[in-house]
């Protein structure tokens, strides 16, 4: 079994999503000691914006990194993503990563009857944090966006571990974090993973 762990928070050691994504990954290691974990910190090691040059593979180093990112995603059985809400959506570093994994012919394709995801059979667990409270509100362009991106790629098994209202007060933050830790889902064996 392969687990890909992604972080995108710019808040370093103070990050809620980094704490939660690490705890989720640790839970998988505890449950499945044979799991192979790969890690990408998109804050420390960001991908460039997708440009015309990227599509033309003008920069060999950028193209090689993009190929690595896509291969890591395709190989993963479980993807754990630290995804804070930034300006009602996700950090641009995480969007840049999504731009490299959503590749026609690799992770989705178009047919005469519409789009078909090609990356099914994976599980995604998102560690989500927001300063305010947005669940179910029209202000949430973070979690529904991520759910839509992965559904488009054929992945319907997407779980969110959420801390909300963390900016309201230190007490709100610590209670929301404790609740989120308690809500981490129990890892389950996946049908496709060896």
- Residues found near ligand FMN in the complex (CB under 6 A): 9, 11, 15-18, 84-88, 129-132, 166-167
Q: Which CB sits closer to ligand FMN, 57 or 135?
A: 135
Q: Which CB sits closer to ligand FMN, 88 or 152?
A: 88
Q: What is the 3-state secondary structure (H, E, C) of 36-70?
A: EEEEEECCCCCCCCCCHHHHCCCCHHHHHHHHHHH
Q: Which CB sits closer to ligand FMN, 15 or 107?
A: 15
CB of 154 to ligand FMN, least distance (A): 27
Annotated binding residue 105: no
Residue 80's closest CA among 33, 17, 11? 17
CB of 120 to ligand FMN, least distance (A): 28
CB of 17 to ligand FMN, least distance (A): 3
Annotated binding residue 45: no
Annotated binding residue 162: no
CB of 11 to ligand FMN, least distance (A): 4
Q: Which CB sits closer to ligand FMN, 12 or 114?
A: 12
Annotated binding residue 86: yes
If you search the block for the tokens 């690490």, which residue do you land on? Answer: 22
Q: Is 32 helix (H, G, I), strand (E, B) or coil?
A: coil
CA 157, 12, 74, 53 torsion: positive or negative? Answer: positive
Annotated binding residue 1: no
Annotated binding residue 85: yes
The answer to whether the CB of 47 falls within 8 A of the CB of 100 is yes
- Interior angle at CA 28, CA 23 and CA 31, nearest 5: 125
CB of 70 to ligand FMN, least distance (A): 25
If you search the block for the tokens 């669940």, which residue do you land on? Answer: 135
Give the pair of three-digit tokens for residue 26: 């640790």
The H or E element that residue 1 is part of is: none
Q: Which CB sits closer to ligand FMN, 46 or 131?
A: 131
Residues contributing to the annotated binding site for FMN = 9, 85-88, 129-132
Write out the binding residues.
Answer: 9, 85-88, 129-132
């Amino acid at each position: 079994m392969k687990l890909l762990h992604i972080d995108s928070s710019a808040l370093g050691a103070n990050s809620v999503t980094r704490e939660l994504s690490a705890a989720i990954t640790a839970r998988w290691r505890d449950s499945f000691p044979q799991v192979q974990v790969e890690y990408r910190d998109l804050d420390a090691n960001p991908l460039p914006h997708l440009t015309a040059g990227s599509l033309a593979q003008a920069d060999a180093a950028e193209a090689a990194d993009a190929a690595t990112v896509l291969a890591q995603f395709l190989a993963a059985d479980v993807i754990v993503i630290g995804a804070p809400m930034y300006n009602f959506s996700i950090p641009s570093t995480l969007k840049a990563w999504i731009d490299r994994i959503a590749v026609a012919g690799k992770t989705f394709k178009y047919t005469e009857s519409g789009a078909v995801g090609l990356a099914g059979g994976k599980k995604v667990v998102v560690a989500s944090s927001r300063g305010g409270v947005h669940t179910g509100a029209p202000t949430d362009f973070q979690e529904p966006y991520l759910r839509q991106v992965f559904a488009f790629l054929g992945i319907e098994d997407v779980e969110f571990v959420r801390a909300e209202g963390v900016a309201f007060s230190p007490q709100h933050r610590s209670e929301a974090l404790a609740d989120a830790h308690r809500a981490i889902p129990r890892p389950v064996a996946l049908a496709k993973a060896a």
